[in-house]
């Protein structure tokens, strides 16, 4: 399974990548929506781990772009937000 991690915090991105790679997954990282768009255009991903707050926009609003470029990819949102509305 190939996974794209979209996370602007370098430490979190590194930790997630190491854990996923160690578990046998193939992961790539992107630190912005622009980098994520380029990665999605270049490679096929089964899963996108998507941060909510990124330097160039809200990950939630990026989901239609993911669907456009890789309709089969699943998305899991990563967020530090704690309000029930934001988590659901």
To the nearest whole percent, how much of the chain has pLDDT over 90?
Answer: 88
Q: Could you read off the pLDDT of 30-69 as tens digits, one per residue?
A: 999 999 999 999 999 999 999 999 999 999 999 999 999 9
Quote the distance between the C-alpha of residue 71 and its chain's center. Answer: 14
Nearest to 48 by CA among 68, 24, 28: 28
Percent of the chain with pLDDT over 70: 90
Q: What is the pTM of this model?
A: 0.90
Q: How confident is the model at residue 84 (pLDDT cuts 50, 70, 90)?
A: low
**Residue 48 and residue 4 in contact, taking contact as beta carbons nearer than 8 Å:** yes
End-to-end CA, the chain? 26
Distance CA 37, CA 34 (A): 5
């Amino acid at each position: 399974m190939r996974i794209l991690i979209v996370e602007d915090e370098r430490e979190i991105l590194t930790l997630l990548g190491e854990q996923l790679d160690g578990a046998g997954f193939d992961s790539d990282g992107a630190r912005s929506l622009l980098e994520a768009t380029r990665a999605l255009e270049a490679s096929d991903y089964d899963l996108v781990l998507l941060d909510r707050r990124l330097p160039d926009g809200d990950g939630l609003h990026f989901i239609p772009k993911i669907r456009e470029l890789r309709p089969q990819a699943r998305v899991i949102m990563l967020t530090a937000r704690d309000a029930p509305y934001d988590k659901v």
